[in-house]
Structure 1
């Protein structure tokens, strides 16, 4: 009998489906890298203002548009209803899937939980810190449901490793074996490029319309303390965002030190001989730019409670700071800048020794593949 690849149904609210813009490639990258082991089906959940429920099909991709009310009001109820609506309309087309994977606990998880129960299929859950941590904290009245979803899942992947301890506390982790939880980094596609010895002292990469939450203004304040470090800023911006950033640079009298370089290819961004990427974002679910920077040989300064915090221990090439403490950010920048050559040599040594392999595409796809295949076997594949 010929081998049939297990079928995995992915429920994701942040998938590039052509309906919404600015969706990340995190889930798509994972699917692309594992399509040799699985037959992937995607159900993209699009939350939009209004009261419309509709299903849109494009090839093998289904999108379900559901209402998004202010402050997440009735979100859980809407997702429960949406799952039932989808099942009665299209559920029969997914009766042969072997595994269902929800890529967010508190939104996708509710939808996928309902389908997994009706279709009697094993459930995988990914926890993504920004949305999930916020919903779990604020929506105390549905924590019982989140806990039920966690307990029913075959396996739980923490994309945001920093959220793992807080989620375990909320769900009283002693009832859940540690083997059920593992970290799973987003796949970041970047190749080591030879430094061209050009560029500023430090690097910032991010969406500039989110400059405040990405920590750019706090980096500006850190630079303004001594006014000696130069900063290259990469990222797209609306006219309004760019104007606000320029005004802030002028207010702090650092316009001559900061260069807004717009959008650029990764091979350009990471080719400079930078002392570090400095981006103390909060909130930040994962932040693929951190991994891209590290794997390109550029040290990182980031927040101690978001991004890739929890994946690796702080070191001289990976510094975690309080994202609101500009004095601490400034000290971290000075620490790396003053010892730049040794710090970068240590980073390259750890890359060569495999210490950062948990961010390696081969490791991620192998780990995910093994877990998903075990779940498929439990479904009778």
Structure 2
């Protein structure tokens, strides 16, 4: 079967490295084209090998329609040719010009949905909610980075055809798949259970639930290692003074290299992040690649990719009692869960993700 090729419109390309990883892997398999219009202030993030257009300014942030017009005009100015379909990499910012061009060119299109589509547009405006519905209904395929994000769209548009919805998770940076990890043995948990939190210390990351957990005397002593910028300026020495004997927080600060991050994963037993909201959470899959069982927020991020107890557990982000229960379940089956974690991390190889994307496209797009 001949490969169908696309023109990708991605105005968020420089916001996260996952877009670059997708770009590189896809170009190994097809001669796709990319239209990448971004804000001018991103010039410091430039990637020399990628054709990026720095066209958006302050006006475009205030008057959304000018942003759409610039993308359509850029398409015609750059004279893109010889592609079979369009792929808008967000539902609103990229999806609208993608939809307009599909009508003008009489070509089919697919879209990806990001959490910003919902939080910044659909839930704030009846106009964008209507536009989102129109684009979703006309797209030949819709891609989501997580089951939880897919569920949010299904709740917002329960009458739309969900058979064309597909999962396309964020992949791991190649480093995490290249760095081999030996099987973890069950640690001596009666001495101390070493938990790890990685992320900015901001309200959304909800480190408060972990502090409340450590305030209670547990069956096992717990040490929580925290790695990330302390935006809230928490005084961890003061916080440690309120914990029962055996429980404590060790603050590493903001880590400056991927090697430091790997060391943090390798020197702890369980990864726990119970965010109030999470689009995907690359730190979860990074932890899996180092064989760490994970505890993640129910209905957010990676929830839905795994069976309960397979690589860890989903958990309420407000229940200390449930968190205690899930920790003890992981400890009881630690070696098996750790082994599963390492194995399942391979599902987040960009080669596999792009391969599955191409199968979906070839089964969906007609030439």
Aligned to 2:56: 66
Q: CA offsets per residue over residues 216-266 of structure 1, 9 Å max, x none? A: 34323322333841122233x3xxx36703x25524536953231532425
Structure 1 counterpart of 2:113: 127
Are the aligned partners of 2:88 and 2:112 in contact in 1 as well (CA < 8 Å)?
yes
Q: How big is the alpha-carbon RMSD for the aligned residues of Structure 1 and Structure 2?
A: 3.5
Structure 1 stretch 194-203 or stretch 302-311: which is displaced more? Answer: 194-203
In structure 1, the residue matched to 2:223 is: 230
CA distance in 1, matches of 2:291, 2:161: 38
Q: C-alpha distance in 2, partners of 1:360/1:57?
A: 22
The aligned counterpart of 1:53 is: none
Equivalent-residue separation in structure 1 for 2:237 and 2:9 (angstroms)? 42
Distance 1:349 1:4, change over 3 A: closer
The residue that corresponds to 1:36 in the other structure is: 28
CA 1:350–1:268 in 2, change beyond 3 Å: closer, same or farther? closer
| Count of aligned pairs | 345
Are 1:300 and 2:294 counterparts?
A: yes
1:308, distance to aligned residue in structure 2 (A): 0.8
Structure 2 residues without counterparts, runs of 5 or longer: none
Deviation at 1:201, TM superposition (A): 0.6
Change in Cα spacing, 1:163 to 1:5, as seen in structure 2 (3 Å) is closer
Residue 130 of structure 1 and its aligned partner are, at CA, apart by 4.7
The question of whether the paired residues in 2 share the 8 Å contact of 1:231 and 1:258 is answered with yes
Structure 1 residue matching 2:222: 3-state secondary structure: coil
Using structure 1 for the length normalisation, give the TM-score. Answer: 0.77
Match of 2:99 among 113, 118, 125: 113
Which is worse superposed, 113-122 or 148-157?
113-122
Contact 1:316–1:343 (8 Å) recurs in 2:
no
Counterpart in the other structure of 1:218: 209
- Residue of structure 1 in register with 2:252 after alignment: 260
**In 1: Cα distance, 2:51 partner to 2:77 partner:** 15
Question: Are 1:282 and 2:282 an aligned pair?
Answer: no
- How far 1:349 moved relative to its partner? 4.6
Deviations 1:242-296 (A, max 9, x none): 6703x2552453695323153242542332241x111112321111111122232
Q: For the residues of structure 2 that align with 1:88 and 1:35, how far apart are their CA atoms?
A: 23
Q: TM-score, normalised by structure 2?
A: 0.79
For 1:115 and 1:318, how far apart are their aligned partners in 2?
A: 44
